Amino acid sequence: MTMQTSSTPATLSERKTVAIKVIGVGGAGLAVLARLIRSGLAGGGFAAVNTDAASLAASEAPEKLQLETRLLRGLGSGGDPDRGRTLAEENFPRLKSLCEGMDVIFIIAGLGGGAGTGISPVLARAAKETGALVIGFVMTPFDCEGPRRQRLALQGLTEFKAAADGLICLPNQKVFKLIDENTTALETFKITNEYLADGVRSFWRLLTCTGLIDIHLDDLCELLRDRHAESAFAVAEAVGPTRSREVAEKLLAHPMLDGGAMLAEADALMINILGGPDLTMAEVNRVMEQMNRHCEHAQVVMGAAIDEAFRDRLAVTVIATHKNLEPVAAPGSPRAGHEAPAQFVRQTIGARPAPGFGPPPPATSGSPATRSLAPETAASHQRRKPARLLQTQLPLESASKGRFDKSEPNIHEGEDLDLPTYVRRGVALN
């Protein structure tokens, strides 16, 4: 594999004064945190939160917070998110004081278990109350961990999403594309942890390194909010005079991006280019050109930053997110176990309005038919842009063609004229 992750500590000569704290929650969160501490991200605080004393003791984090009652007898939450949640609610002031005085809080957790799933949403809320921006990095379980954990993870995701400003979710299952048959289970977990750590690191750099093209933090949060359903991220690095081309090629061939397919599907992309002081605009341009070509429809937020340590090197991080067709958090969604947490979220976080951000989704995020059938508010309807077909052969479902369903497609400059005009124009009728 040609990909190479950048684990070099960022020696930041000029740093923006953003106070960042990385908080690992639960077993998985601590594991990722440990990697981050080891690679030494300068200029930020680390904290560990868990229910189980043993793992906390092993952690190198400077700040540790054990959520404990006699009930648990020091054995952790036992895979029950409710227990984790109750504990966190009880210790809400302590969580809050942990986040005090920070501008940005990264919360790292593995969902599906007790501590991570239960505590992290509450922690996010606590951090939010201190006035910090909250960005979550979460992993969802492997498929083989069973449907119960998957369900719990989804539930936790819903809660977390409502509480955090931005959320990046890495389904562990995706890591299977990176490993081969002979990878041991231990190594696999190591890889997933490293992967998430990479994501955190790239965000870190984004916020701390001198920006050539700054990504505004608000933009970032808007991008991530409400579309956490699945994210894929890829990091590629190259050295030498042809580095910009190499990096783009590596990214497009990256297994996590499905060889570029993920880019085409994505409806939001964050691309962060990190280079040394010798980074040229032409290089930035070349990388972005390649990326943009693959994701015409996505909303792209790009940034370029300079790090002294990256002389002659170029590292590009791509975070691609796309929405699930059915809104995961929709109350009354048919999936079991969804209603309860959604209600819980609404009650407990009443002060926080539901994320209202919704840029026009690309054509690929849902066929016009699904859209017109889904119950939507007038406001969300008006934001829609006309669906554009990528190719005439795409088997896009379009039930609203009615009489012309079986006839020769009528493509004119990428638009299927057989679809009702009002659907393509996104005119609301209600």
The two three-digit tokens of residue 14, written as one number: 């000029």
Output the smallest distance, CB 285 to another protein, in A: 31
Instruction: Give the number of residues in contact with another protein, rule: CB under 8 A.
Output: 18
Residue 365 and residue 325 in contact, taking contact as beta carbons nearer than 8 Å? yes
- Amino acid identity at 417: L
Which is closer to another protein, CB of 155 or CB of 398? 398
Output the smallest distance, CB 391 to another protein, in A: 18
Piece in contact with another protein (CB under 8 A), picked from 46-54, 196-204, 346-354, 395-403? 395-403
Which is closer to another protein, CB of 18 or CB of 369? 369
Output the smallest distance, CB 410 to another protein, in A: 5
CA distances from 198 to 75, 144, 191, 239, 287 (A): 30, 24, 10, 19, 20
Which is closer to another protein, CB of 283 or CB of 416? 416
Output the smallest distance, CB 330 to another protein, in A: 23
| Per CB under 8 A, 375 contacts another protein | no
Output the smallest distance, CB 133 to another protein, in A: 42
**Helices (DSSP H) in 276-377: which residue ranges?**
281-294, 339-348, 368-373
| Per CB under 8 A, 386 contacts another protein | no
| Per CB under 8 A, 180 contacts another protein | no
Half-sphere exposure of 297 (CA within 13 A, CB side): 23
Q: How far apart are the first and last CA of the chain?
A: 53
* DSSP 3-state of 9: coil
Half-sphere exposure of 349 (CA within 13 A, CB side): 26
| Per CB under 8 A, 209 contacts another protein | no
Which is closer to another protein, CB of 70 or CB of 403? 403
Which is closer to another protein, CB of 177 or CB of 425? 425
Q: Which residues contact 231 (CB under 8 A, 6 or more apart)?
A: 168, 169, 170, 319, 320, 321
| Per CB under 8 A, 429 contacts another protein | yes
| Per CB under 8 A, 70 contacts another protein | no
Q: Kindly write out the interface string for residues 397-426 of this chain, putting x where it contacts another protein by CB under 8 A and - elsewhere.
A: ---xxxxx--xx-x-x----xx-xxxx-x-
| Per CB under 8 A, 392 contacts another protein | no
Residues within window 30-69 making contact with another protein, judged by CB under 8 A: none
The beta-carbon contacts of 350-353 under 8 Å, at least 24 apart in sequence, are 352/128, 352/162, 352/163
Q: What are phi and psi of 397, to 5 degrees?
A: -75, 130
Q: What are phi and psi of 28, to 5 degrees?
A: -65, -40
Which parts of this chain interact with another protein (CB under 8 A)? 400-404, 407-408, 410, 412, 417-418, 420-423, 425, 427, 429
